């Protein structure tokens, strides 16, 4: 009975890597994998993700299989000789310290170009739109008809972001109250909005479509209301949409003035 108990626990540990690998293998077929990428730099981000996933996955599987082997092989209920104790090995300690350090150093260097494209090589242009996180909504401000952000004719909207495709987009990100996290999964962009700071966020979308804007920072009970939508469309459709919104805002302002 004790032998069966030892076998059960060893098989249980073996099931962990098996189920883990199977889960990752079948996830795309059930549409519970990465969201569709529509950005210029998304393939680089996904490439880094998959590289790290395969690397850590291989280490995980080897470790779990080794754990299964030792549990089964050296079951106390099946021992055939007295236990022998050994002191630690300085050589092994150095090896398993240097190897992970070397891997981390390699990853740090390997990802530098992708990080620079997303976080350092800012396009030389005026902001396309200002996004302000606020409990519990995304406030958007587009330049008005004068094309300058921060003037009285700016267009103000909430949670309905429209942007043209195949163009560099520069977002000026701010927070009105607490820490928020501006997350566009389909363009592989996530950036914290910090109170008191203006943070630039840039990318280029390659496909038309309507996608989610998510706040990846829990900021209170009404957090679920932070979900907005971003629409990527052609330059012509974008300008038509802007014109409609300009007219709606001007009509509302005129009505308020008369009142």
User: Residue 80: beta bridge partners?
Assistant: none
Q: What is the torsional sign of CA 33, 39, 42, 43?
A: positive
pLDDT number for residue 225: 80
pLDDT number for residue 222: 78
29-85: pLDDT as tens digits: 888 889 999 999 999 999 999 999 999 989 988 888 888 888 777 776 666 677 677
Q: Flag whether pLDDT at 2 surpasses 60.
A: no
pLDDT number for residue 15: 83
CA 127 to chain centre: 22
The dihedral region occupied by 123, where left means phi > 0, alpha psi between -120 and 50, and beta the remainder, is beta
What number is the average pLDDT over the span 228-245? 96
pLDDT number for residue 110: 92
Q: Higher confidence at residue 225 or residue 133? A: 133
Percent of the chain with pLDDT over 70: 93
203-231: pLDDT as tens digits: 999 999 999 999 988 887 778 788 899 99
156-188: pLDDT as tens digits: 999 999 999 999 999 999 999 999 999 999 999
Residue 168 CA to residue 204 CA, distance in Å, equals 5
CA 82 to chain centre: 52
74-129: pLDDT as tens digits: 776 666 677 677 777 888 889 989 999 999 999 999 999 999 999 999 999 999 99
User: Residue 39: beta bridge partners?
Assistant: 205
Q: What are the backbone angles phi and psi of residue 129, rounded to the nearest 5°?
A: -160, 150
Among residues 228, 229, 233, 212, which one has the least CA distance to residue 163? Answer: 233
Among residues 135, 211, 138, 126, which one has the least CA distance to residue 172? Answer: 126
What number is the average pLDDT over the span 237-255? 92
What band does 5 get if pLDDT is binned at 50, 70 and 90? low
Neighbouring CB atoms inside 10 A of 208's CB total 14
Domains and CATH numbers, the chain: 2-76+88-119 (no CATH), 129-258 (2.60.40.420)
Query: Between vectors from CA 203 to CA 57 and to CA 227, what angle results, nearest 5°?
Result: 80
Mean pLDDT of the chain: 89
185: which 2 tokens? 């999964």
Q: In the chain, which ranges are continuous DSSP H helix?
A: 2-26, 42-73, 90-110, 112-119, 235-258
pLDDT number for residue 1: 54
């Amino acid at each position: 009975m004790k032998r069966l108990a030892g076998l059960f626990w060893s098989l249980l540990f073996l099931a962990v890597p098996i189920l883990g690998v199977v889960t990752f293998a079948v996830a795309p077929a059930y549409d519970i994998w990465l969201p569709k990428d529509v950005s210029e730099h998304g393939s680089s981000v996904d490439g880094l993700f998959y590289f790290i996933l395969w690397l850590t996955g291989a280490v995980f599987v080897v470790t779990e299989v080794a754990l299964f082997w030792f549990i089964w092989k050296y079951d106390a209920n099946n021992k055939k000789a007295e236990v022998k104790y050994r002191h630690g090995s300085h050589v092994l300690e150095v090896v398993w310290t240097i190897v992970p350090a070397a891997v981390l150093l390699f990853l740090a260097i390997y990802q530098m170009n992708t990080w620079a494209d997303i976080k350092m090589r800012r396009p030389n242009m005026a902001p396309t739109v200002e996004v302000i996180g606020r409990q519990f909504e995304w406030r958007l401000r587009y330049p008005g008809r004068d094309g300058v952000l921060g003037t009285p004719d700016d267009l103000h909207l909430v949670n309905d972001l429209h942007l043209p495709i195949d163009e560099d987009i520069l977002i000026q990100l701010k927070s009105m109250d607490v820490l928020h996290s501006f997350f566009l999964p389909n363009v592989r962009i996530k950036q914290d909005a910090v109170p008191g700071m203006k943070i630039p966020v840039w990318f280029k979308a390659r496909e038309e479509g309507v996608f989610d804007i998510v706040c990846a920072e829990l900021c209170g009970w009404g957090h679920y209301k932070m979900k907005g939508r971003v629409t990527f469309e052609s330059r012509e459709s974008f300008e038509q949409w802007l014109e409609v919104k300009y007219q709606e805002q001007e009509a509302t302002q005129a009505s308020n003035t008369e009142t």
